[in-house]
Structure 1
Amino acid sequence: MILSQPRGGKTRHSIQLLERERVLLTAKSITDSARGGIGGALFVVGAPGLGKTSLLDAVSHRVGPEFRVGRGTADPMESSLPFGLLDQALIGLGTRAIFELKESDRGASDVRARGFYSLLRWFDRACSGPLLLALDDLHWADPDSLALLLFLCRRIRRLPVAVLATLRPWPSAADEVCARLVQAGQARLERLAPLSDRGTRSFLAARLGYPPPEIEVRRSARLCAGNPLLLDQVAASIECGEDLGRLAADEGGRSAGEVSRSLLLTRFAGLPAAALRCIRAGSVLGTRFQMEIAVEIAGLRDAEVDASLEALQRSGLLRQLSGSWVEFVHPLFQQALYDDLAVARQARAHTEAFGCLVRRGRDAEAAEHAARSDLVDSDQALAVLERAGRSAMRVGALMSAVTHLSAAADLAGARAKPELLLALGEVLLAAGRLVDAIAVLERLEPHEAAGRDNAVERASAGVRVAAMRLIAHCHYGLGATDKASLAFTAALDLAGALGESAEVPVLLDHALACWITDGPAVALPLAEEACARAPASGGPARRARAVSGFVRLLAGDPSHLGDLAAAARAAQGTQRGPVADLAELSYTWSAASGHALAAAFTERFDEAEQAFRVGIEVADRIGAVEAMASLQMGYAYSTLLRLGRLQEALHTVDKVSDLAEVVPLIEQPAAFAHAYVLLLMDRLDESDAWCRRGETSAETRPGWWPRQWGWHVRGMRHLREGALDEAAEFYLRIEAETARQGIREPCLLPWARHAMAAHIRRGHTADAVRVVEWLERSAEGLPCRWPRIAAATGRGWLAEAAGDDARAQACFEAALAHHDQVRLPLERVETLLAYGAFVRRAGRAVRARELLREALDLSERIGARWLARQAHEELAVAGGRRRRRDEQPQLTAQEQRVADLAGSGLRNQDIAGQLSISTKTVEYHLQRVYAKLGINSRRYLIEMRARGAHRKDGEPATG
């Protein structure tokens, strides 16, 4: 069978020439950029029948053989088919691996993240030449394809990939995706307008071969509202001698949709009854269908089949695709036929389609028909919906899985099996619908075991344990930690009936959740209980001891780090190597990641770097995106930043941020990592923007560690700018949270040095003493040097404040001696700045300049411009620069600093605190500033600072 007339062929003149060329020029700019290695996306929006498909055809033809083209067309009957639209397009590009993942015991959210990341990686590695994704009728796309398209369009700028998609404004889901991308500057948008009256006249003249009478033009414009496809049907009616006046008269009282459907249905009027039944059956199957299925649904006799196919071939309403597949030449024809069916007939037709597809083993397509059919009490429909939902889960098509499993649960009602509700709850959790997930999972109420087989009861109990764990995760995601703890306790009680081996995973899950939200104070007892209940040997015992060893370190006890290292070695030694360990990653933790973090916190940086690199490489290879994001984040925070590799840290955090859409848990720590490294680079506006972004995320996501990093960044900024009360407030908050959570590993977040500086500068030495004593107690049992460095620095500041310069000197020297035993370049700069400023204040300018020059050189070498600027200013105060002899008397470096701070509005006592001098010294400097500048009050300083008038050539740059 050969069916003619390509889809959209009659609409090649459907857009006014200038508008068509405008859109084609925009598309050309997108494809030209992709040809040059810069990806982009263009969305063309317009009402049906305006020629969007012909535009897509034209662009696909114009790019030529240089481009590989992946073409996909969405279909309303495939709107819940997992990745149905993008699957078509990717077949054209030569890949389907993302949608053929093997069944896994991973959670649905990580399977989805793995698939998204795998596709991005495929584009990155396969793009030897430019690619075009040409997507038609995006408004009918399945929601998973829309989510994946959104993910890709946000990341293809660095790839030679052009995306061109056409859509109608309604249904609105696709239009909303386009709007988000356009608003973010990640795509361009063109909207097609219907033909004007003048365009209608030109179209009809071209179609009929003569200028139509004006009355027919006006009637046609009113009937068709500028839609070229409908105008084509009107022209056909005119050619057949139909009375256009009658059509216009019939319009009264009918909606625009009813009028357009009547016009389109005139194309089917001449078909034989059997052929019409066949094409109506096809409309139930969608815009694309297999003819033999339509024949079966229509119930055609053998004698009717050939005549019907011949009539459909001549009609020009269908076109041939590959094999026995055919397609309506325009979706409006399919829509008109389908809408013309009575509702009851539609339901029966979907029931028949369901049976045909099930018999052919096509569950995913059959599921859509089951949801639209009248199969109310069908066990077969229930089974198909559940199978389709689980299949969608396995490839990470969360929205399709939610659709099918929800339909199955609704169909089953009170008969819904626990396994079905558990699967639906898991996929709702993965899709971020936490409240809905809780409601579904709470339907799994415990019940009596009387009269039930023990094996069946144990299986049911296992399902209920899993459900309570998922409920706990939902509550944690909603920030309801108390409810989460209650859910974990309930899960533990249920697991008790299954034996201690079933209790260990629940306890570990609870412990790992708690260390993220409540710290080791809550997590450690749970980890210890897991160790007590675990068997003497084997994987569960190793994992329990590893979790306990990690949490113990956070609590200041490194004595069990050997258990953590042994678990990491055991994971490396298994048949699957570290793959198995990463596949078990829970709450951003595995034995591999825990070992790497512990090595970094205890300053075994070579060991940490090796562990992180191996873990990241394995996670990347197997597509374990949650594990990879977690490992990269830990690598940036614990190792790269502490080693002063700022550019590398920023690059790593950028990559993590790219994954935040599919690993939402990583968004908050990635934002604060950006804020911290950009602060050190002196990119203050960017740092502040990322900090605000992290703070916004912190409002909805639990997690003390990233939130405290945000407080630390704010505290550092306030401290540097002389806002000592504000700085101290942030550090008091961190200190209180640290105590509440039982954290005794100061390297987890190195806040203590800056806290002591803020407290001492504002004259609150008791607060500084409390922090330094916490550092010293923590350092007693830990092998790391940084707590000793920070404590020695704090003791030096306290000794100076007490007037004991000899003691202060010894403390600062002790801090530098500790630095000689460990690589901590950023911290060394901080120590050199503190020591150099003390020596300068003690009147030893030569020694001060030596220390400050080292701080300046080191900070510039590692790219820490924020610290370099501080070192530059301190060096200038210490006399590290000379004024030109021909200059008039200028401000000294210290006078300049006092003038700057006073001009910014700070009080004398605030200036004294920031510069570690007395208030009387501030007043003395201000009097000299006023005399030199010829002014008599602070008001003039503020005005001059605004104009930059008092800044002289000899002052260090601040940018």
Structure 2
Amino acid sequence: MQLFGRRAETGALDRLLVRAAGGAGSGLVLWGEPGVGKTALLEYAVGAAPDATVLRCRGTRMEAGLAFAALHELLWPVTDRLEALPGPQAAALRGALGLSRDTANRFLIGAAVLSLLSGLARERPVLVVVDDAQWVDEATAHCLGFLARRVATEAVAVLLTGHEDPASGPWEGLPALEVVGLADDDARSLVATVAPDADPGLVEDTIRAAGGNPLALHELPTLDREAGDETLLPSGDPVPVGPRLRRAFCARVDAMTPPARALLLLAAAEDRGDRDVVHRAGAGWGVDRRTWDEALRSGLLEVSGSRVEFRHPLIPAAVYDGAPFLDRQVAHRALAAALPPDAVEERAWHLAAAADGPDEAVAVLLERAAEQCLRRSAGPTAARTLRRAAELSPVPSDAARRLAAAARAAWDAGRAQEARQLLDDAERRDDEAAVARWSGGLRGILEFVHGRPERAQRYLVCDMAAVPDARGAVELGAVAVRAAWSAGRPDLQQEALRRLLDVDAGDDRSLAELLPALRGWWACYDETGELTPVAPDGAGDLVARLGAAAWSLLPPVPLAQAWGIEGPLADVLRVQAAQLRRRHELAALAMVLSQTAVLDLFAGRWGEAEAGAAEGLRLAGEVGADHVVTQCRTSLACLAAARGDDRTVHEHTTRTLQVSVPRGVRALSAAAYWHRGRAALFDGRPQEALEHLLPITDAGHEAAHPTGALSAAADTVEAAVQVGSAEVAEAGAAMVASWAQRTGATWARATAHRLRALVGGGIEAEAEYRAALDVPGATDQPLEHARTRLLYGEWLRRARRRADARLQLAGAAEVFERLGAEPLRERALREQALAEGPTARREPGPPGRAGLTAQELRVARLAADGLTNREIAAQLLISPRTVGHHLANVYPKLGIDSRATLARIDFAGDLRLGGAAPGR
């Protein structure tokens, strides 16, 4: 096969194949307009990999709605290898391929395909070729995206073609190469090869009309000659290729006999490549062996075994679009009749394509097909199928019911915007209460994750009466209470709680047991916003029971932390995350991940917290859950504040406030203000910290929130003490002490002792610091425990108990270093140096005689020049934490206690300005 003007593209393919053969697999998406030559490049790749196992499939418009249809075509040649897979993977893949009735779990299917191809690649390189990926069904597309992103250490290359830039969607993140039209000289060479005796005028007209499209360049000159129609290529400005190619192909089709045209139309409408179905459907159209011979001789159609396909996907598009609607209608009906009895989905879609008006029988069949899709976790396909069923519904209420079900399927699949549009369409056909009943109160849930929480509360409270079962009403009521909490509206929270507790559980005993538990959980504020003395006995068991019922019954993480039962909540959330992954419920999974990240953060699992927040952020962005996105951002901002990364704190909190403030999500606004205040406090800017923290307690402020104020109280008190604001400090300490007395939460008891020591000072402070450190379970929040040791160490140093101070400060510094809390670690090290006392200080000696290692000397020189730890780390390609470690060794070796002294050292061996070190 000769390619013109494709040196860059073939070079990229060659490099990809060489790397894959060496065990460094990857994916590549070739994209561009139809007919631009993507398929030819795939053929080149196949020819360039003679020793590879080649697996191929092609997306088709008809099968775009059939989950795993393309995967079936791709893997059919190697289904005998399924026995080598782990049992759960093999079962999931068999279910996807229709080989069993096992549930098709998307995550297991992706893992199974990866395992299958990895096994093949151990024998010889594997080349996966997917043409027309824009028409591949969504389930297969996500599976192939999963595969292509995970073959970096396998001898596997994944090549895909599509019409659009894969910057988003299932191929997002994969390398991509745009295939553009040929330059005029290459186009002339191609036309000269296709039609060597073509008139020069025809060649130039072809080049001008084709716009560099190789398929047009290949077809138009010969079609013009065959049709004998000079008007196919008029002179003038370039015109779009698509319409001309369609007209060109139709000219060829129109020249064929009626049975051959019927055969081509049936093949185009069938769109799955099943030769037997096409042949049976054509029996009533006079399609016989001679008809097949004519179609094959035309070059438009090709047959391989039981498969039939067009030479290029533009051809069936032209044939189908060019046929009269009545002919297309008859073709679809014939194909529906020719299908086997168990092909419910395919028959439903053919009959739907044949319908020219409302048809309840076809709508019912589509509904059955959607149920099959949902059993396979193919939510997007189910949503499309139900939407078409609604279009064919003669009765508006039936259409509304199907649209509401489609909205729920879209939401469960993580398509919030599509779900919202489907709900709007449903409400235009029936009243809102009926749509709420059919969709399970989806309007309020969508508003909760995307819009204004106060509005969500109103929707949810109203829809509690509309849903048909008590359990659904309880779940909506729990989300309504949560929405009011997010808005910082205790009055709305109590209203929703009353409605929730009024639900009649009927014979559902487990539900009846949950209602009192929910009362105890949410009754932490009365209608005035004041804390109420509710003791959450057995709160851990309560969390487990609520989590086993539904994720929506669980309280928000900050409230769970306030009660001090974050451990049980973390266990429940991890179980739920695994279940949601299996069910592919992306919206709920994103919400759970965002909350798990908060728990990991305060438990000192910062790596897990960062990974969970990042994944939650990505998933929430994909499904349009804005508030979950901002919650993930607040976790990342909290991490950045502890690490001393002010720029990242500012970026995440700014983007959080851009969403939370206009929509009145005070819980998220409070978190953003808190983390800004924390960053300033840790960096030694207490006045600025207080400016960020005080609004959280100001009832009229956009960031005011009761739980937020409680969470930020320790930082508010510390900042207030440092700036001398006794009233603020005492109020914050009293708030935490009251909460500790009422709940007995570990964190509250430890923090209350710490704040009393910080505010009160004096000789009683030591007993309070010791009590804070000795609270059972206080070490479960390592950052806060280490902060208590830091404050205690500072108090001991000021009391001139230097040995005791060094012990506390060293322990705090060790935890800060392990976590990566750089500002606090540097503060602890500074206090340690001061705690060494005057007797330990000596004149700074020459670095060369101080026993510095080569790396310590490099670090010291850069620090002496005024570079920060991060700037030094960037120059030496090490971490800021390692820089701090080296400086902690440098100071005692040189007999100094600060950077100021380090800056005065001449690294040839003398002090730059002479004299003693500061502090002597």
User: Which residue identity does 2:288 align to in structure 1?
Assistant: V
Task: Kindly state the Cα deviation for residue 777 of structure 1 after the two structures are TM-superposed.
Answer: 0.7
1:165 aligned onto 2:154 = no
Work out the CA distance in 2 between the residues paired with 1:319 and 1:392.
31
| Counterparts of residues 624-703 of structure 1 (less than 5 Å) | 633-638=594-599, 640-657=600-617, 659-660=619-620, 664=625, 666-682=628-644, 685-686=647-648, 688-692=650-654, 694-695=656-657, 698=660
Match of 1:319 among 267, 292, 302: 302
Deviates more, 1:186-195 or 1:364-373: 364-373
Kindly provide the CA deviation profile for residues 369-406 of structure 1, in whole angstroms up to 9, marking residues without a partner as x. 55554521322232233334444444454444443333
Task: Kindly state the Cα deviation for residue 166 of structure 1 after the two structures are TM-superposed.
Answer: 1.3
Kindly provide the CA deviation profile for residues 169-211 of structure 1, in whole angstroms up to 9, marking residues without a partner as x. xxxxxx15346899x8x23332333344433443344446x67
Task: Kindly state the Cα deviation for residue 42 of structure 1 after the two structures are TM-superposed.
Answer: 1.9
Work out the CA distance in 1 between the residues paired with 2:814 and 2:583.
43
Q: Secondary structure at the match of 2:808?
A: helix
Task: Kindly state the Cα deviation for residue 326 of structure 1 after the two structures are TM-superposed.
Answer: 0.9
Q: Secondary structure at the match of 2:177?
A: strand
Question: 2:131 aligns to what?
Answer: 136
Match of 1:565 among 541, 555, 560: 541
Question: 2:518 aligns to what?
Answer: 547
Taking structure 1 as reference, are residues 718 and 272 closer, same or farther at Cα in structure 2, changes over 3 Å only? Answer: same
Work out the CA distance in 1 between the residues paired with 2:734 and 2:808.
27
Task: Kindly state the Cα deviation for residue 53 of structure 1 after the two structures are TM-superposed.
Answer: 1.2
Higher relative contact order, chain-length normalized (CA < 8 Å, sep 6+): 1
Work out the CA distance in 2 between the residues paired with 1:612 and 1:255.
54
Question: 2:855 aligns to what?
Answer: none
Work out the CA distance in 2 between the residues paired with 1:749 and 1:66.
63
User: Which residue identity does 1:796 align to in structure 2?
Assistant: A
Task: Kindly state the Cα deviation for residue 486 of structure 1 after the two structures are TM-superposed.
Answer: 3.1
Taking structure 1 as reference, are residues 262 and 542 closer, same or farther at Cα in structure 2, changes over 3 Å only? Answer: same
Assess if the C-alpha contact under 8 Å between 1:49 and 1:228 holds in 2: yes
1:774 aligned onto 2:735 = yes
Assess if the C-alpha contact under 8 Å between 2:127 and 2:156 holds in 1: yes
Taking structure 1 as reference, are residues 91 and 215 closer, same or farther at Cα in structure 2, changes over 3 Å only? Answer: same
Task: Kindly state the Cα deviation for residue 797 of structure 1 after the two structures are TM-superposed.
Answer: 2.8
Question: 1:587 aligns to what?
Answer: 552
Work out the CA distance in 2 between the residues paired with 1:743 and 1:253.
63
Question: 2:821 aligns to what?
Answer: 864
Question: 1:815 aligns to what?
Answer: 772
TM-score with structure 2 setting the length: 0.76
Q: Secondary structure at the match of 2:674?
A: helix
Task: Kindly state the Cα deviation for residue 687 of structure 1 after the two structures are TM-superposed.
Answer: 5.1
Work out the CA distance in 2 between the residues paired with 1:491 and 1:710.
32
Task: Kindly state the Cα deviation for residue 754 of structure 1 after the two structures are TM-superposed.
Answer: 0.7
Task: Kindly state the Cα deviation for residue 26 of structure 1 after the two structures are TM-superposed.
Answer: 1.9
Match of 1:329 among 302, 311, 317: 311
Taking structure 1 as reference, are residues 741 and 96 closer, same or farther at Cα in structure 2, changes over 3 Å only? Answer: farther
User: Which residue identity does 1:75 align to in structure 2?
Assistant: T
Task: Kindly state the Cα deviation for residue 765 of structure 1 after the two structures are TM-superposed.
Answer: 1.9
Assess if the C-alpha contact under 8 Å between 1:39 and 1:157 holds in 2: yes
Task: Kindly state the Cα deviation for residue 24 of structure 1 after the two structures are TM-superposed.
Answer: 2.9
Q: Secondary structure at the match of 2:745?
A: coil
Q: Secondary structure at the match of 1:193?
A: coil
Work out the CA distance in 2 between the residues paired with 1:668 and 1:92.
46
User: Which residue identity does 2:402 align to in structure 1?
Assistant: L
Question: 1:15 aligns to what?
Answer: 4
Work out the CA distance in 2 between the residues paired with 1:608 and 1:721.
32
1:306 aligned onto 2:292 = no
1:729 aligned onto 2:724 = no
Match of 2:752 among 787, 791, 810: 791
Question: 1:891 aligns to what?
Answer: none
Unaligned runs of 5+ in 1: 1-11, 104-111, 169-174, 448-460, 572-580, 889-895, 902-928, 935-948
Task: Kindly state the Cα deviation for residue 822 of structure 1 after the two structures are TM-superposed.
Answer: 4.7
Question: 1:475 aligns to what?
Answer: 447
Work out the CA distance in 2 between the residues paired with 1:502 and 1:263.
58
Kindly provide the CA deviation profile for residues 218-265 of structure 1, in whole angstroms up to 9, marking residues without a partner as x. 35434544444344445656997x868676569999975554345434
Work out the CA distance in 2 between the residues paired with 1:369 and 1:499.
36
Q: Secondary structure at the match of 2:130?
A: strand
Q: Secondary structure at the match of 1:542?
A: helix
Work out the CA distance in 1 between the residues paired with 2:900 and 2:551.
63
Work out the CA distance in 1 between the residues paired with 2:663 and 2:78.
39
Work out the CA distance in 1 between the residues paired with 2:595 and 2:257.
70
1:188 aligned onto 2:175 = yes
Taking structure 1 as reference, are residues 649 and 467 closer, same or farther at Cα in structure 2, changes over 3 Å only? Answer: closer
Work out the CA distance in 1 between the residues paired with 2:47 and 2:662.
48
Kindly provide the CA deviation profile for residues 126-153 of structure 1, in whole angstroms up to 9, marking residues without a partner as x. 5635565432123444566667766776
Assess if the C-alpha contact under 8 Å between 1:133 and 1:162 holds in 2: yes
Assess if the C-alpha contact under 8 Å between 2:757 and 2:765 holds in 1: yes
Task: Kindly state the Cα deviation for residue 75 of structure 1 after the two structures are TM-superposed.
Answer: 2.0
Assess if the C-alpha contact under 8 Å between 2:216 and 2:241 holds in 1: no
Work out the CA distance in 2 between the residues paired with 1:98 and 1:707.
45
TM-score with structure 1 setting the length: 0.73
Taking structure 1 as reference, are residues 33 and 45 closer, same or farther at Cα in structure 2, changes over 3 Å only? Answer: same
User: Which residue identity does 2:510 align to in structure 1?
Assistant: G
Question: 2:27 aligns to what?
Answer: 41
User: Which residue identity does 1:137 align to in structure 2?
Assistant: D
Task: Kindly state the Cα deviation for residue 163 of structure 1 after the two structures are TM-superposed.
Answer: 3.5
Kindly provide the CA deviation profile for residues 594-615 of structure 1, in whole angstroms up to 9, marking residues without a partner as x. 9x9969953685x667666666
Taking structure 1 as reference, are residues 531 and 28 closer, same or farther at Cα in structure 2, changes over 3 Å only? Answer: farther
Taking structure 1 as reference, are residues 588 and 255 closer, same or farther at Cα in structure 2, changes over 3 Å only? Answer: same
Kindly provide the CA deviation profile for residues 751-773 of structure 1, in whole angstroms up to 9, marking residues without a partner as x. 22111122233332212211111
Task: Kindly state the Cα deviation for residue 719 of structure 1 after the two structures are TM-superposed.
Answer: 1.8
Taking structure 1 as reference, are residues 608 and 312 closer, same or farther at Cα in structure 2, changes over 3 Å only? Answer: closer
Work out the CA distance in 2 between the residues paired with 1:146 and 1:754.
48
Task: Kindly state the Cα deviation for residue 503 of structure 1 after the two structures are TM-superposed.
Answer: 5.3
Task: Kindly state the Cα deviation for residue 714 of structure 1 after the two structures are TM-superposed.
Answer: 1.3
1:260 aligned onto 2:245 = yes
| Counterparts of residues 165-564 of structure 1 (less than 5 Å) | 165-168=160-163, 175-178=164-167, 186-207=173-194, 214-215=200-201, 217-222=203-208, 224-233=210-219, 236=222, 248=233, 257=242, 259-265=244-250, 267-268=252-253, 271-286=256-271, 288-290=273-275, 292-293=277-278, 296=281, 299-301=284-286, 305-323=288-306, 325-342=307-324, 344-345=325-326, 348-349=329-330, 352-353=333-334, 355-356=336-337, 360=341, 362-370=343-351, 372-412=353-393, 414-417=395-398, 419-427=401-409, 429-430=411-412, 431-433=415-417, 435-443=420-428, 465-467=437-439, 469-494=441-466, 504-515=474-485, 517-518=487-488, 522-523=492-493, 526-527=496-497, 530=500, 533-535=504-506, 538-552=509-523, 559-562=535-538
Taking structure 1 as reference, are residues 546 and 151 closer, same or farther at Cα in structure 2, changes over 3 Å only? Answer: farther
Deviates more, 1:83-92 or 1:466-475: 83-92
Assess if the C-alpha contact under 8 Å between 1:39 and 1:159 holds in 2: yes
Task: Kindly state the Cα deviation for residue 507 of structure 1 after the two structures are TM-superposed.
Answer: 3.4
Equivalenced residues, count: 833
Taking structure 1 as reference, are residues 519 and 290 closer, same or farther at Cα in structure 2, changes over 3 Å only? Answer: farther
State, as a whole percentage, how many aligned pairs show the same letter: 21
User: Which residue identity does 2:190 align to in structure 1?
Assistant: F
Work out the CA distance in 1 between the residues paired with 2:238 and 2:780.
83
Q: Secondary structure at the match of 1:288?
A: coil
Taking structure 1 as reference, are residues 546 and 72 closer, same or farther at Cα in structure 2, changes over 3 Å only? Answer: farther
Assess if the C-alpha contact under 8 Å between 1:15 and 1:50 holds in 2: no
Deviates more, 1:674-683 or 1:310-319: 674-683
Q: Secondary structure at the match of 1:47?
A: coil
Work out the CA distance in 2 between the residues paired with 1:499 and 1:265.
57
Q: What RMSD in Å do the two structures reach over aligned CA positions?
A: 5.1
